[in-house]
A and B are shown apart, each in its own frame.
Chain A
């Protein structure tokens, strides 16, 4: 087990708002875990606790059996890579220099990266196919390219698990899929992956396990096919989302129904549609559909 989290609760002291409520989960070596939940449920808080940036009010987090709160940032960084939401830094370091900083947990204090560290950074750029950006200032590349640079930086840390906080936020559709492919690829290379997302379809695309963080701060966890149901999606997002097997792409997709605002005729038709008996396409989803 990489992570063992038991009865975790977190309260923001200044807001007196508790976001995580008795959360327990385990993460095995090489596992993929997507975390879904409404805005403000504490997805990022959970990741921040797992990265050791926040200290939970109650409960414990064990990383390879060791209590996280007794570990230094350096010890954690040698095992855990954290891809936070991208932000523009103050200085335009070159992408290569930026990625090389991922070696920090393996460079002695007051030391500097050597040739081997620069080679590792270059290899990560090659893996992600962004060597052409190596000498460009990090402040002058696009959002999708920044996200890849941050992922490359997490890779050169040589961690066992990588946490992604909404890796697809602020990216266009093409870059969203490219980033998901990279994450999937990294899981196949043996990294464990934890990802938070606002898009249930991305959890379906990635597969593996899914954890749902509810409004009450409680967590349900299980295999993707068992956890994601239309009822649960309605409960999380307070809006109807459909799970439809799409034969053309041979997978189940999560898509919203037609928008019900606008003129009355459309709304009337929607009501009619709901009354007709279920077509074969909208039957309930069986686990086999996920394969």
Chain B
């Protein structure tokens, strides 16, 4: 088990690593900039000082790279916390925003909003409702079958995910190929290439409020993760507490989908990785998972825009890294059980 100081130093190390990654990401790309230069630009802009000499470098850093970096950090953190929260309240380490169908539900909501030619806020509301509807169905199926097993919830997630996938196919089929289809596909594959500060700013209130609520109830997520009966005998109103947690983590996922579309594997794998670093207690896990997720998505997004000549969708890279990592986790768990 980990002492308080070890956990604190791990978090400080992650924070430092994140800072290094941010600077690195500001520098690399088709227009390379030295780290010193990028820091000067950042410093000058934050404190409103005189513009540095290279106008082009400033445009690249402040106009293109920094919004992407901020979006990657925020969305990586949001998806990881969302995944960790779902895993806690369902006392099931095998669930995540994508496995529960939340991501695809939110994606459908966004697609419907696009078909109705709605604006940013409209897309956000539809994405949230779609995600919430999906997770409600996923949780309802094991209840109807009166099964409490971990596998049943995962299977139910697959059912809902499959259904949402077909619905999304239908929406793509009826979408206008000239205008709407491309943006739906963009949403489905996950990308940060069209991110701008206003879009990110519009989801920030939802993300900040959900994060504060989830962090302040993190100890209670531990109690609920003991199981419904145990938590009730400890005086917890399980239904109410769990619903608050589901609302907040669905809001986090839906906000992430609004900005970057669906990014798979992150919400499943990052909490496991963070658990290996700081242990399973959610008071420690949630902040660490947020930092690890931020670093991971930033690295992946930087890779997506620098590898090859054209942009690579994020889900391709997260899948290539996430799937083998999850297989390794399962292997490790099995080894421990025997």
Please list the residues of chain A having a beta carbon within 8 angstroms of any beta carbon in chain B: 14, 51-53, 72-78, 80-82, 84, 87, 89-94, 97-98, 101-102, 104-105, 107, 109-113, 135-137, 153, 157
Contact of A92 among B88, B146, B280 (CB under 8 A): B280
Confirm or deny: B179 has a beta carbon within 8 angstroms of a beta carbon on chain A. no
Contact A104 B93 (CB under 8 A): no
9 new A-B pairs (CB below 8 Å) besides A94-B1, A109-B217?
A72-B235, A90-B93, A90-B225, A94-B281, A98-B226, A101-B223, A101-B234, A102-B234, A105-B235
Inter-chain contact B227/A89, CB cutoff 8 Å: yes
Say whether, besides A92-B280, A110-B216, A136-B1, A84 and B233 are in contact (CB < 8 Å). yes
Which residues from B are CB-within-8-Å of A111?
A: 219
A-B contact pairs, 29 of them (CB 8 A): A51-B233, A52-B232, A53-B229, A53-B232, A73-B235, A74-B236, A78-B235, A80-B233, A84-B229, A84-B230, A89-B225, A90-B92, A90-B93, A91-B91, A92-B280, A94-B1, A94-B281, A98-B226, A101-B222, A101-B223, A101-B234, A104-B220, A109-B220, A109-B241, A110-B217, A111-B219, A112-B283, A136-B1, A137-B1
Q: In the assembly, what is the distance between CA of A14 and CA of B225, in Å?
A: 27
Q: Separation in Å of the A12 CB from the closest CB of chain B?
A: 11
- Residues in B whose Cβ lies below 8 Å from that of A84: 229-230, 233
How far apart are the CA atoms of A78 and B190 in the complex, in Å? 48
- B237: CB under 8 A from chain A? yes
Q: Which of B1, B92, B93, B237 contacts A74 (CB 8 A)?
A: B237
Residue of B nearest to A97 (CB): B281
B225 touches A91 (CB 8 A): yes
- Asked whether, in the complex, the Cβ of B233 is within 8 Å of the Cβ of A91, the reply is no
A101 to B224, CA, bound (A): 10
Closest CB in chain A relative to B60 CB, distance in Å: 43
| CB closest residue in chain A, given B91 | A90
Interface residues of B in 213-263 (CB under 8 A from A): 216-217, 219-220, 222-223, 225-227, 229-238, 241
Q: With A97-B222, A97-B281, A112-B283 as known contacts, state yes or no: A87 contacts B227, CB within 8 Å.
A: yes
* Min CB–CB distance B209 → chain A (angstroms): 14
Nearest CB of chain B from residue A203's CB, rounded to whole Å: 23
Chain A nearest CB: distance from B337 CB in Å? 10
Give the Cβ gap from A68 to chain B, nearest Cβ, in Å.
13
- What total of A-B pairs shows CB separation below 8 Å? 87
Chain A residues contacting B146 (CB-CB under 8 Å) are 14
Collect the chain A residues with CB atoms within 8 Å of residue B226's CB: 89, 98, 101
Query: B337: nearest residue on chain A (CB-CB)?
Result: A139
Using known A-B contacts A110-B217, A112-B283, determine if residue A93 contacts B222 with beta carbons closer than 8 Å.
Answer: yes
Closest 8 CB pairs of A and B: A77-B235, A105-B235, A74-B235, A91-B280, A82-B233, A104-B234, A135-B1, A90-B91
Residues of A within 8 A of B91 (CB): 89-91
Whole-angstrom distance between the Cβ of A275 and the nearest chain B Cβ:
52
Chain B residues positioned under 8 Å from A75 (CB to CB): 235
Docked complex Cα distance between A90 and B84 (Å): 13
Residues of B within 8 A of A136 (CB): 1
Which residue of chain B has its CB nearest to the CB of A134? B1
Closest Cβ–Cβ distance, residue A45 to chain B (whole Å): 13
Nearest chain A CB to B236 CB, angstrom units: 6
> Are B217 and A93 in touch, CB under 8 angstroms?
no
Task: Report chain A residues within 8 Å CB of B229.
Answer: 53, 84
Closest CB in chain B relative to A95 CB, distance in Å:
9
Q: Are A77 and B234 in contact (CB under 8 A)?
A: yes
Write out the residue numbers on chain A whose beta carbons fall within 8 Å of the beta carbon of B223.
101, 104
Q: Which residue of A lies closest to B90 (CB)?
A: A90
Which B residues are CB-close (under 8 A) to A97? Answer: 222, 281
A88 to B280, CA, bound (A): 15
B289 vs chain A, min Cβ distance (A) = 13
Query: A74 to chain B: which residues have CB within 8 Å?
Result: 235-237
Least CB distance, A54 to chain B, in whole angstroms: 10
Partner of B232, one of A73, A93, A107, A109: A73
Give bound CA distance, A107 to B234, whole Å. 11
Q: Are A77 and B233 in contact (CB under 8 A)?
A: yes
Q: Mark interface residues in B8-22 (1 if CB within 8 Å of A CB, else 0).
A: 000000000000000
Cα distance, A105 to B222, chains bound together (Å): 14
Per the bound structure, the CA–CA distance linking A207 and B1 in Å amounts to: 41
Contacts of A52 in B (CB 8 A): 232
- Within the complex, which residue of B219, B238, B241 is in contact with A113, where a contact is CB–CB below 8 Å? B219
Chain B residues, Cβ within 8 Å of A92 = 279-280
Most-contacted residue by chain B among A74, A80, A81 (CB, 10 A) = A74
Contact for A73 among B1, B220, B225, B237, CB less than 8 A = B237
Rounded to whole angstroms, the CA-CA distance of A48 and B91 in the bound complex is 21
Identity of the chain A residue whose Cβ is nearest the Cβ of B226 in the assembled complex: A89
Report the separation of the CA atoms of residues A102 and B231 in the bound assembly, to the nearest whole angstrom: 10
* Chain B residues, CB < 8 A from A78: 235
Contact B92 A53 (CB under 8 A): no
Which residues of B95-151 are within 8 A (CB) of A?
Answer: 146, 150
User: How many whole Å from A44's CB to the nearest CB in chain B?
Assistant: 11
Q: Across the two chains, which residue of chain B brings its CB closest to A80?
A: B233
Which of A14, A73, A91, A135 lies in contact with B93, CB distance below 8 A? A91
Q: How far is the CB of B93 from chain A (nearest CB, A)?
A: 6
